Amino acid sequence: MGEVMTADVVAVPEDATYRTIVDLLAERRISAVPVVDADRRVVGVVSEADLLYKVEFAGAVAERRIFPGRHRTDREKGEGRVARQLMTSPAVTTRPATTLPAAARLMDGKHVKRLPVVDEHGVLVGIVSRADLLKVHLRSDEELRRDIVEDVLGRTLWLEPNVVFVKVDGGVVTLRGHLDSKTLVDIAAQLTAAVAGVVAVEDELTYELDDTDLATSRWYRSHPFSATGPST
């Protein structure tokens, strides 16, 4: 998350006025702003949608009296004057260590366009938007191939150079080679797919041993990287 989030994030206090927030969004060309308390902990978010309720309910006094229960929260935001009255709370937030796919799923599941990034104390440290998540797909094929060869296959799986042929074309990775086991093939493909910027993986790897049964056994789940198997 840290590689794509905006660390220089602007925020407003709970008593920031409606006009202050409108001016800030226009000046910074952003669509929402986190609301923080005195310790800079995130307590909510004010978006353009929250601010538009004031426009929607302007002059609608008669309607509010006739339908007192209709869109109560929306009306309250429309009457709000400061951030604590305008914001959507609690805010949907994420942590710096969150993976990009997890952040994307959170945005989709919560129907939000951005996520304030907070530390373990809830203090604001950055913000990530949908556009930020898409930036990883601007990485070149050469960068992706280097990460896969050096980090995934080399440092993580300890495979010798040239054991696996790696081709990257438009973010689509092709893996070709012969490995010791099916489990190792599956892990290589999964770790490659998790590299930021990879669009898809074409797994053309073959293997010497189908260790599927062993990999799903209770012993193997607790000793996934042992090469000797259970003792007898």
Domain hosting residue 23, numbered range: 12-136
Q: Is 190 contained in some domain?
A: yes
Average pLDDT rounded to a whole number, residues 26-41: 95
SS (H, E, C) the chain: CCCCCECCCCCEECCCEHHHHHHHHHHHCCCEEEEECCCCEEEEEEEHHHHHHHHHCCCCHHHHHHCCCCCHHHHHHHHCCEHHHHCECCCCCECCCCCHHHHHHHHHHHCCCEEEEECCCCEEEEEEEHHHHHHHHHCCHHHHHHHHHHHHHHHHCCCCCCCEEEEEECCEEEEEEEEEEHHHHHHHHHHHHCCCCCCEEEEEEEEEECCHHHHCCHHHHHCCCCCCCCCC
Shared domain check, 125 and 34: yes
Q: Which pLDDT score is estimated for 61?
A: 52
Q: Is 228 contained in some domain?
A: no
Average pLDDT rounded to a whole number, residues 193-201: 90
pLDDT category of residue 70 using cuts at 50, 70 and 90: very low
pLDDT category of residue 187 using cuts at 50, 70 and 90: very high
| Statement: residue 227 has pLDDT above 90 | no
Average pLDDT rounded to a whole number, residues 130-139: 86
Shared domain check, 144 and 132: no
Mean pLDDT, rounded, of the chain: 86
| Statement: residue 67 has pLDDT above 60 | no
